[in-house]
Structure formats: structure tokens, C-alpha cells
Chain A
Amino acid sequence: MKFFDNKSISTKLKLVILSTTLLSVVFVFAGFFIYERITFRKITVNDLETKGSIIGENVNAALAFRDSSDAARVLSSLRSQPRIISAAIYDNSGKLFATYVRPNQSAVFPDRPESESVYYQDDDLILFKAISVNEQRIGTIYIRTDLLNETERFWSYLQIALLVLIGSLAIAYTVATVLERNISKPITNLASTVQDVSQRQDYSIRTSRTTNDETGFLADAFNQMLAQIQERDSILQQSEERYRNLFDYNPLPMWVFDAATLAFLEVNEAAVNHYGYSREEFLRMTIKDIRPQEEVPRLLNDIQQHHQGHDDAGIWKHRKKDGTIIDVEITSHELVFAGTEAKLVLANDVTERKRAEEGLKNAEKRYRTTLDNLQEGCQIISFDYRYLYLNDVAAKQGRYPKEKLLGKTMMEIYPGIDASPFFNQLRRCLEEHRSHHMENEFAYPDGSVGWFDLNIEPIPEGAFILSIDITKEKQQEKELKTYREQLEELVEQRTQQLEIVNKELEAFSYSVSHDLRAPLRHIDGFAELLRKNAAESLDEKGRRYVSVISESAKQMGTLIDELLVFSRMGRTEMRSSKISTRNLVRETISQLEKETENRIIEWKIGTLPDVEADSSMLRLVFQNLISNAIKYTGTRERAVIEIDSINKDNETVILVRDNGVGFDMMYKDKLFGVFQRLHSAAEFEGTGIGLANVRRIVQRHGGIVWAESEINKGATFYFSIPQKKG
């Protein structure tokens, strides 16, 4: 059956069908043949018996008369029966009476006849039959015949059987092939899918369902199963990846080593990064290789002790690839890794921590020294208000020696302190662990008072108090406060005074404006009337006096007007707007037409910008500067007056330049003062207020005014106006 087991289903199916067909045909034919043979033999025996009977009848007489030749003649009639080999007749005494032998054949006859019987001998059928007359046996007949007919029949039967067999097998094979297509094909598909899945480990493959029978269900079930397997497989893969990541991306160095050979079996990235060996280098090493030489015996000893399961193996020294020795805290765990007894190791570099711990001890010492020598008072108060620590400054602030304070409670040293706001904060710090900063007035037992800036911090031992003596500062602050209050009062007084003065000034200038001008007008008016009405009674001198009176009155009027303008420039509100200085200059020049009559003036007007200013004030500035330029070029045959601007980042500078008489820079400081003049009235007329006005206006706009000149080489006046950005 082994042979059968290894065959494919389609072969098996074919073999089963073919062998079943073969067996059926063989059995049918075997049965048929046996039946045929039995029937044939029966017929042959009957036939032989009939022949014997006929011959017996025919030889009665010959026997009775002992005519053997007649008997022989009767027997020779058997010649028509080719199957009969030989025949003989025995008399009643058993002697051979007559014989027949098939031509061309020799025969041996039995010596004596046997009793009536039919039997087979040597593939021949032998008949002994008694010859009787009136039931008196007179002889015996013997016939021997071959079975050649039977053999012929058998062979022809066999031929038919073979033909049928071949035909049946052919049909059976065809049927098997068709069947295979319907039955074995789906199964074969399934089988090949299974093979694919198992070979490629690919659970996403699906078999196709071609039939609707059990194989179809099988395919469905198989696909379902595959889907489940795929799902589980992916979960398994994810899970494996998760754990893999836990290892690979663990921030701490991890590795697995063979428990027997101590060889590295696996290392994670952190190990590679931290130790400096590549993964390949690691996998060629054992854990002895990352130890300094002196640590190896301890390591081997430790491994021999064979820690079971989880193990905190303590702190070890490891050596990095670059030779650096690090302190590492090792945690390990036994596990079976790829079938090998192994250990999983987690290495935590504690070099820094160890260093820090050592540093901490030094730091503590350092801090204590620092505290001792601090310029601020430091004290540590226990939860029951005892002095645990004081530095010298704190003791000095407390006005007791350290030894007297240490170990005592605050209440013992300063009775009544527990009622103070400071103590209240200290209690809160101790009970609620709140830090607090305060300035505290401390009353000493002798009645004197000190001020302290206190920082109260909760610490494990109780409270830490940092105290700074601010008694002096407090006193100064107090004094300062008094000064400030006095100062404020003073400023207020002064402001009030100033306001009064300002009001008086206003009233004064109003009065000047109104009352001072009236008499001047009268002087001029009546002088004029005098000249008109009494012209004849006045001589030349008298007329000159009258005209001097008029002139002086006019001059004073101008002076008063300008003075008023000057005073007003300092007081009136400014109304800023965007002004085109270009237009302003043009207007000013045309207003000064009267002064430029009969003059040759070349005007050079550059690019003049828009500025943010009070229009009427700025007009006055231009009026003054330009009329000055006209005035001081009066002696020039051809005057050149240039007006231009210089644009700067956040201001505009405007200049007015002339080619006039100029001035000595030595006196430039006097230029812009009230009533300050650099030229005599005989040289150039003027009140000495114009430039003062210019300066006042420019200053009110937040700008400055200055001038450059050289005697007889002209002068340039500059003023700046700050420009708002945007």
C-alpha cells in the first residue's frame, strides 16, 4: 500500500476506477467460463453416452454372433467424429472383441473393461458402458475422446474477454479523467495553495472555489482558516515587533549573551551607540571583552554562581571601545534565546550618578562653609522652634552668641516673640511648608528696633531663614519719603506760583497790547495833526522834530507788536497739521513784495517737503528768515537767496542761505537772543526780536535752529522740524 499512498489523488482515482473495472470484467468472465466448462462437459458426457448406446445397439448382433468384423465396421463409423481418439468393444468375458483408432494415431486399450463409468484421464474423457440385451449384459463398450473442442472454446472466450477488458478499461479511463477534472482538480488546487502557503509563509494567498460540492466548502473553509491565520499571524508579528522594538529602541543598552560561551547573541542600538562597537563587532565578542582586565575574575565568579531568573547584578565597570571606563548598573534575566540558554542584560550607565553622589558630599561641605561665611544671616529652626544652626551674622543680628542660642527655642530667647507677625509666618512655613518673604520690624528685649528682610523657606529639618539687616535702608527710606513729600509740596507751591505769574503775565501783555499802544497812537496822531494844521507856523527844525516824534512812535509800536508776538509764541496753543513748506515759502516771498521792490534778487528754491507743524508759527519763521535775507543783502547789487531742505531720518532740516553781509561767528550765541542785534540801527533796521521768535517757534516744535556765516560772505540759517514716523 505504500506505493499507493504516495500517488496523487488523480492517479489514485484513476487506479481505483481502472482496477475496479478490471476486476469486474475478470470476475464476470471467470464465472462465465466455469459455467460454460461445466455445461460443455455435461453435454460432452451425454453425447458420449448416447454414442456408446447407439454403438451398443448396433453391435448387439455382432456380439451375439461373435462377428468381430461387423463390430469393427460399426466402430469405424466413428470416423465422422474427429474428436474420438479410440473405441473398443469387449465381450462379456472381458476380452477385446473389436477396436477403432482414429486414423494416423496409435492407441493402447485397457486389458479388461471396467464397470460402467465416465471419467477424465490425461485430458481425455473415457467412457465404459455395458451392452445389454434384455437386461443381460453381453459386452462392454469403451470410447476415448479428446477435449480439443473445449480448449478451442476456452481460447475464443479468452479473446472476447480480453477485447471486453480493453474496451472497459478505455471507457473507465475516460470517465476517470472527466471525474478527475471535477473532483481532483479543486483538491489539487487546494493542495498547491497549501503548498504555496507553507513554502512562502504567505497567508494572504487564497484558493479559488470552482465547485459547489464538499470541495467547494472545503476551499471556503480553508480560505476562512487562512484569513484567521493571517490575522493571527499579523497580530503575532505586531506583538513580536513591539517586543522587538522594546529591545531595539530601549534607551538603555541591552544585550543577550550565551550563558555557556558568554558570546554576544544580540545587542540593541543603545548598546551600539553607548559602547562604540558596531553590532557586528559586538556579535564577534564575548561579555569579557567589554570588561577591564581586573574585573574579569569577578565576572567569571559571578557567572559561576548561576543566578536564577531575575537578577540585579549590581554595579560593574565596563570599557567602551574608546577605552573609557564607565560604571554600569546591571540587571539581567535568564532566557532561552534561539534555543540557547542565554541571559538578557540591561545596562544603565551610572557614571554620572556616582560622580554626582561624590560631588554631593563635597557640595554639602562647600555649602556649609558658604553659609558660615555668608554676609546674610542664616538660621535653621526645628519644628519645635529650636535653633539648629546659625551663622555668625545671624547670631550678630540676634545679639546673642551662637552658643547661647543653639538648642534653645525662640520663645526662651525672645519671650513674646510668638505673638509677632514674623512668628506667625514661621509657623505657617513649618506647618504648611510655605515659603514666605517679608520685611520685619524686630523689637529687641532692650526696646530697640531693627528691620530685617526675611526669606523663610521650608526644609526637611524645619525652616531656613535668610535674614538681611535693612535697618539703615529703612531709615534712609523714611527720610527719603519725607524729602519726597516735601519736594512734592514744594513743586505744587511753585506750580501754583508759576500759574499765578503766568496769569499776571497774560494780564500784563494784554495791558501792554491795549494800553501801551494807545499813547503811541496818540503821539503819532497828534504829531501828524500838528504837522498838518500848524505847518506854516513851524520852521524846518520844528517840522523835523515832529517827524522824529512820529518815527519814534512808529518804531515803538513795531517793537511792542513784535514783543507781543514773541510773548504770544510762548503761550498760545500749537495746532499741528501737514503743511507744504513749498507753498509757505512762495506765499511768504510774495508777501514781502514791498521789501523786494527795486531789488535784483535771484531766488533758488530747492525741493521743499511737507512737514507737520503749526501753520501760522511756521509762516512767521519763514517771514523772519527770508526778510532777514532780503534785508542783509540790501547792499548787494545782485542778491542770491537760496531756500532748500535736507531730509534726515526723523527730521527735516530747512535752510535759508544768502550772499549778504553775514556776521561774525564769534557772536553766533547772541544771534537768537531777545533784543540782541549784531548790526546797528543805522546799518540795518530791526528790533532784535525776529530771530528770538524763530528760535522760540522751532524749539516749541521740538527742533533746533542754528546759523553759519562769515563776515561779508553771506549767512546760512538752519532749522530742524522733527517728523513723525509713518
Chain B
Amino acid sequence: MDLFKNILLAEDNPKDVELTLEALAEHKLANDVIVVNDGADALDYLYRRGRYESRSAGNPAVILLDLKMPKVDGIQVLKTIKGDERLKTIPVVVLTSSREEQDLVETYRLGVNAYVVKPVEFQEFLKAVSQLGIFWALINEPPPGTDRRLQ
């Protein structure tokens, strides 16, 4: 029996969301993905407030975080997560188009667990995202307090 874990995908671009979900679906991981469209939403989910007030307790197994988002950007979200005792154990993978060094430096400084540049080529993109999903949602043993469900 596999123990499925939640993936939180913070991505404002619906096309990217679609492509990402497509990639995850290849490995039947898409059902467990919670999609938020900006940083504010992401934080709401994590802190169980706003429209996520009533969600069951537990943290996602991994957060796939885009950097460039409206309202609250990815860097800010990362900063908040890594600055909070309750959230800092959640693995955060930055999934972004930016290859800029300043972003790399800043996110690693804040304690990001991985940094993945979205390849332009779809095949490559597919490969990268599915590998991420498999690793973090299936292979990696998440920290205690992670939401697990039997399926």
C-alpha cells in the first residue's frame, strides 16, 4: 500500500499549471496536487485560513513554488515558510523560468531545498516535473506532521 502525500503547486500561469499537472498525471500524481495561483493563496493554504480554513490539518509533502507571482511573490512565500517553526520543515522546490543568479543566491540563502529551471522543451519539462513529483511525493520520507492519506 502506497502512502500518497499532497503536493502544493503555487503557480499563477494557468498554462504552466496545466502543463505541470499533465506531467504529474503521467505518473498518476495529479490527484494529490493542490494548486494555488498566487503567494497569498499559498500562505492561506499553509496557515489554513481564508478559503482553506476548513481543510484538514497537515502539511504538504512538497511545495512546488514559482517565483514570479502576483500579490505575494515566491521569494516572500519562501521567506515566510522558512521563518516559521511549524512550516520550515516542509521541502520547498522552486520551479521557475528564471535562471538569474540573484534568484538562485537569494532562494538558497533562505533555505530552499531545490531549484529547478523549467525547460523550454516540453519533453524536458515533462521529465523534470515528473522526476520531482516522484522523488518528493513518493521516494522522499517527509518530515513528521505531513498529511498522509491511504489510497
Indicate if the CB atoms of B99 and A513 lie closer than 8 Å: yes
Stretch from A107-115, A517-525, A690-698 that touches the partner:
A517-525
Distance (whole angstroms) from the CB of B113 to the closest CB of chain A: 21
Asked whether any CB of chain B lies closer than 8 Å to the CB of A67, the reply is no
Indicate if the CB atoms of A524 and B122 lie closer than 8 Å: yes
Indicate if the CB atoms of A521 and B99 lie closer than 8 Å: no
Asked whether any CB of chain B lies closer than 8 Å to the CB of A216, the reply is no
Asked whether any CB of chain B lies closer than 8 Å to the CB of A673, the reply is no
Contacts of B67 in A (CB 8 A): 514
> Which label, helix, strand, loop or mixed, suits the secondary structure of the A interface?
helix
In the docked arrangement, what's the CA distance between A527 and B122, Å? 9
Indicate if the CB atoms of B121 and A517 lie closer than 8 Å: no
Contacts of B119 in A (CB 8 A): 521
Interface residues of A in 555-588 (CB under 8 A from B): 556-557, 561, 564, 568, 572
Indicate if the CB atoms of B97 and A521 lie closer than 8 Å: yes
Which among A521, A564, A568, A572 is the interface contact of B120 at CB below 8 angstroms? Answer: A521
Asked whether any CB of chain B lies closer than 8 Å to the CB of A526, the reply is yes
Tally chain B residues at the interface, Cβ within 8 Å. 21
Asked whether any CB of chain B lies closer than 8 Å to the CB of A158, the reply is no
Indicate if the CB atoms of A517 and B122 lie closer than 8 Å: no
Known: A510-B98, A529-B22. A517 touches B118 (CB 8 A): yes
Interface residues of B in 34-76 (CB under 8 A from A): 67-68
Contacts of B100 in A (CB 8 A): 509-510, 513-514
Asked whether any CB of chain A lies closer than 8 Å to the CB of B109, the reply is no
Our count of residue pairs bridging A and B at CB distance below 8 angstroms stands at 63
Contacts of B4 in A (CB 8 A): none
Indicate if the CB atoms of A525 and B15 lie closer than 8 Å: yes
Closest residue of A by beta carbon distance from B120: A557
Known: A527-B122, A557-B121. A518 touches B99 (CB 8 A): no
In the docked arrangement, what's the CA distance between A308 and B43, Å? 128
Asked whether any CB of chain A lies closer than 8 Å to the CB of B106, the reply is no
Indicate if the CB atoms of A554 and B120 lie closer than 8 Å: yes
In the docked arrangement, what's the CA distance between A38 and B13, Å? 190
Contact with A along B74-108 (1 / 0, CB 8 A): 00000000000000000000001111111000000
Indicate if the CB atoms of A525 and B122 lie closer than 8 Å: yes
Asked whether any CB of chain B lies closer than 8 Å to the CB of A196, the reply is no
With A518-B13, A529-B22 given, can you name 15 additional A-B contacts, CB distance below 8 Å? A510-B98, A510-B100, A513-B99, A514-B67, A515-B68, A515-B97, A521-B16, A521-B120, A521-B122, A522-B19, A524-B121, A526-B15, A527-B122, A529-B19, A529-B122
Interfacial residues, chain B to chain A (CB-CB below 8 A)? 13, 15-16, 19, 22, 67-68, 96-102, 118-123, 125
8 contacts between A and B (CB under 8 A): A514-B67, A518-B97, A521-B119, A521-B122, A521-B125, A527-B122, A529-B19, A554-B121
